[in-house]
Amino acid sequence: MPYITQLIQKGTTHSFIAKATAPTVTMPRIKALMTGTIPGFIDIVMNLNSHELQEDNLLWQAKQSRKRIFFYGDDTWIKLFPKHFVEYDGTTSFFVSDFTEVDNNVTRHLDYVLKRNDWDMLVLHYLGLDHIGHLTGPHSHLIGPKLYEMDIVLKKIHSALLLKDEDSAPNLIVVCGDHGMSEVGSHGGSSDEEVQTPLVLISSAFQNKAGPFTVPEMIQQTDLAPTLALGLGLPISRSSLGKFITAVVEQKTMREQLRFFHLNGHQLCMLLKENLETYEKDDGLEQFKKAEKQHGNWIKLYLEGNTSEVLTNLGRKVLKQYLEALIKLSSSLSKQVAEYDIYSMTVGAIITLEIFFLLLLSVPNALSNKAEFDLPLATPLFSLFFYLTCLLLAAVHVIVCTSTENACFFCSMSWLLAMGIMVLISALLCIILSLLGKMVLQLKPSNEVTHSSMQTWSELDILLLVGTLGHVISMGASSFIEEEHQTWYFLVSTLCLALSQEMCRKYFLIKKGNLSGSAAFSEAEEEYAYVNEIYDAHKKELQEEKLPILSRFIKSNEKWIALSSPGLILICCRLLRPLNQTGVQWIHRPDFGHWLTSSEHKAELSFLVAVCLIMIFILIQGKCSLVSKVALMFGLLGIYCYRAAIGHVLYPWQQNTNEITKGITEARFVYIFVLGILVTGIKDLLTSHFLNTNSKAKAVGLWEIYSGLILLAALLFRPHNLVVLVFCLIIQLILTTFIWKILKFDAAEIAIMHYWFGQAFFFFQGNSNTISTVDISAGFVGLDNYVEYPAIFLTIFVTYSGPLLWTMHMLYYLSAETNWNSTAVAHGCYCYAIIRSLPVTVYILLVTALRYHLFIWSVFSPKLLYEVIHHVISAIVCALFIAVDKNQLTKSEG
């Protein structure tokens, strides 16, 4: 950007690095710039759906003093400030793949506007750079030209304003960014690259201080609002936390400078008074009072006409005191503003805790052979205790809601709903108590039984338990949350090693059994027979598919294949690791995914995508019906065409196609097949339910639903992530054919293993616990422009596809492939529910306890958001489980 560099060197500018706070997404950042406040985290959810800003802000103040404001650019501004602009033209920011049109839309107004004289403020929000970042990352070849284009725009504005300056007060150009860009080109998190934004103030009013380039001063993004307000002669907006930038007023007279400080300090003191009960004891306030008194002395001296050195020295002293006071006030305010709605938080935490305990207490019942999960509803509901707790909670509710002045979400709900929640809490409490009572009564005689059952746990069970608990405990530390993927990779590797150990034991103990005693011998023989049986069955299956060579190979080398299978899984996991660097600390390391997506390696990427699609077809098709096989083939072909159309990959037959379309037709083509496969799957499920046919149809139906989801994921994933999908299928194949069948795990263990692998795949596909890794571009596949619900659905699907695919696979495996008992699905579902609710419950409690933690907004809240959405998804999947299970139960009864 030659022009602006030249300006900065020439010296009529001030440049700073403005530090934004997390979440670094557009809407909260605009709020911060205009109001000087730090918006809460919930704004990230509202980011896609902004409403009018109600708080006092700079634009409102400007409008009140009859300034005329023009706006061109991102339409988030228009949603936030719908009535503030005299003239405006918004461009929608949601279609990320367009980066020329959005900026031309802004620039085309410039020539006309700059000639006119009827505006006081002009706000321009260019979107192109952000879009390029989202699409291709910060090292894209598109960045340079875009920055140059911006430079030309700036030159145009600056020269036009210089002409105007001659006959009016000097103008000010503020060049700033709302947020930065991470190494992968997105934003939302709190890494340095995302948080630090440039801020350049250009005005002919500034002193010319040409000189060598110095490192810009670090300021807060919120500091801009009071600075602009003071510069424009407007009142500082009420809830602003910023302290104005002192460098800007350096060459003003001492009196004016002190006046500015006083105004800013006074506003901060008023704000502090509103927010802090013990505001009188605050350090900053005291210092401000002192400085105010000194200021009075200074004014007295000044008015007496004293111009000696004493005056300037005193002035400097006052200035320094004011500055210190401002810094202290500002920092103590930004600590204070985090207000928590403790009452609502407690209610939520109590409900989750109660439900978790309920699940925990019914473990013995639910995991027994009957797999029943019935709650003693009737007795607790009619007990006196229930009504008493209801009354007590209602009383507490009334007292709390009438006593607090702060806004409280729970109090603002309609009283009927609140009452319902009260009843729910007390009912849950009573149920838990009655269950506990029953347990205590039953436990007394059977104390020794539980002790001996602990002994029968294998190392694998202990590992699963310890790993899950350890992960839950590790969530109390922010660095463990940032690097959660490492925990999961580590646990999954350990799981593989434990599996291989079990495998070794199985095979080598059989050998030993042959050598030694009689009891062990017969047992080993039995197991051997069982293994053989499985392989015979397997062989038969394979022979049906006319693959005799392969089956003979498997049959003859079964032992070694089985022994090496955990190692194979380990190798798969290790290969997936460098595909997407994730987390916080090492996200900048070069990874394989970036290498593939960079524009020089298009040919390699095309080859990889083609191979992956073929692999997916080979791995899925075996268990599908003919119709869905054909649909699958066309769907995968369509995916390749889609990728070629949007320019990710090349067609082998036409090498240089430069036209890039949005690929809408191709994507919709694939959607049709996805829907088709899903519908056939559901149809198969329903027929197997109503017509009571054999379980084969059901298995096919479930597998078809699963493959439909895989097809959808293959369409939406970033192109290099297809590898993740292929490895996911391969690992599932290995686990089902070689490990789970041979080692005879029960449903609970299988459910936990599925959960672990699902979590690991969540991170393998490039996700992390910061918002910036969410791939929003998936929400626009096959859509002309932003449509809210499909976009949200697609984004969520693609983000959670790892865990979702694994749970779907668990559903299929437990209900179709296993033939030991009918309660497998129920057990699996129950285990899944409890293993999901454990981290969520603990995490909610942890976050409540750590709510004044330094990283609460940057680390803990995004994780909470992820957990909540994951929880909703698991609830939906559990509902599906129950539906399938009901299906099975009615069939077995009928």
Partner 1 sequence: MDETEIRRLAVGHVLSILAVVFSLFVPPLLLDEFSILGTHLTWLCFCSVCVIAVNILLLVTFKPNPSTKRSSLSSKVNKLYRSCLYFFASCLLFHGIIVLYGAPLVESVGETFLFAVLLSSFTTSRSLCFLGPNFHAWVRVFSKDGAMSVWDHSLQITTICTVVGAWLGAFPIPLDWDRPWQVWPISCSLGASFGYIASLLLAPFWIYWNRKRLTYKRR
Chain residues binding partner 1 by CB under 8 A are 477, 479-480, 482-483, 486-487, 489-490, 493-494, 497, 505, 508-509, 512, 567, 570-571, 573-574, 577, 583-586
Quote the least distance from Cβ 335 to partner 1, whole Å. Answer: 23
Quote the least distance from Cβ 585 to partner 1, whole Å. Answer: 5
CA distances from 193 to 176, 180, 693, 766 (A): 15, 6, 59, 19
Dihedral angle computed from the Cα positions of residues 73, 79, 85 and 91, in that order, rounded to the nearest 10 degrees? 20
Q: Which is nearer to partner 1, 575 or 879 (CB)?
A: 575
* 69-74: strand order across its sheet: 87-91, 69-74, 121-125
Q: Which is nearer to partner 1, 537 or 571 (CB)?
A: 571
Quote the least distance from Cβ 489 to partner 1, whole Å. Answer: 6
Q: Which is nearer to partner 1, 73 or 189 (CB)?
A: 189
Quote the least distance from Cβ 723 to partner 1, whole Å. Answer: 17
Quote the least distance from Cβ 727 to partner 1, whole Å. Answer: 14
Sign of CA dihedral 606, 612, 618, 622: negative
Interhelix angle 788-799/861-893, nearest 10 degrees: 90
Q: Which is nearer to partner 1, 387 or 855 (CB)?
A: 855
Q: Which is nearer to partner 1, 325 or 587 (CB)?
A: 587
For every residue of 183-252, DSSP letters joined together read TTS--SS-SHHHHEEEEEEEETTS-----S--PPEEEEGGGHHHHHHHHHT-PPPTT------GGGGTTS
Q: Which is nearer to partner 1, 387 or 490 (CB)?
A: 490
Question: Alpha-carbon distance 861 to 182, whole Å?
Answer: 19
Q: Which is nearer to partner 1, 242 or 566 (CB)?
A: 566
Quote the least distance from Cβ 519 to partner 1, whole Å. Answer: 13
Quote the least distance from Cβ 839 to partner 1, whole Å. Answer: 18
Dihedral angle computed from the Cα positions of residues 837, 840, 845 and 846, in that order, rounded to the nearest 10 degrees? 140
CA-nearest of 436, 465, 429, 430 to 361 is 436
Quote the least distance from Cβ 475 to partner 1, whole Å. Answer: 14
Quote the least distance from Cβ 493 to partner 1, whole Å. Answer: 5
**Cα 64-65-68 angle, rounded to 5 deg:** 90
CA-nearest of 851, 817, 790, 794 to 696 is 817
Q: Let me know if 169 is exposed, middle or buried by CB neighbors in 10 A (0-12, 13-18, 19+).
A: exposed
* 196-203: strand order across its sheet: 172-176, 196-203, 13-19, 217-220
CA distances from 429 to 133, 366, 436 (A): 51, 19, 10
Quote the least distance from Cβ 583 to partner 1, whole Å. Answer: 7
Q: Which is nearer to partner 1, 152 or 466 (CB)?
A: 466
Question: Alpha-carbon distance 421 to 424, whole Å?
Answer: 5
Q: Which is nearer to partner 1, 156 or 505 (CB)?
A: 505
Structural contact between residues 222 and 32, judged by C-beta atoms closer than 8 angstroms: yes
Cis peptide leading into residue 23 (ω within 30°): yes
CA-nearest of 513, 471, 521 to 491 is 471
Sign of CA dihedral 655, 657, 660, 665: negative
Q: Which is nearer to partner 1, 585 or 661 (CB)?
A: 585
Strands 172-176 and 87-91, how do they pair?
unpaired
Quote the least distance from Cβ 191 to partner 1, whole Å. Answer: 12
Q: Which is nearer to partner 1, 488 or 738 (CB)?
A: 488
Quote the least distance from Cβ 470 to partner 1, whole Å. Answer: 9
Q: Which residue has the tokens 């060197």?
A: 9
Q: Which is nearer to partner 1, 227 or 478 (CB)?
A: 478
Q: Which is nearer to partner 1, 415 or 508 (CB)?
A: 508
Quote the least distance from Cβ 305 to partner 1, whole Å. Answer: 58
Distance of CA 643 to the CA centre of its chain: 25
User: What element of type H or E holds 17?
Assistant: strand 13-19
* Encoded tokens for 497: 């090693």
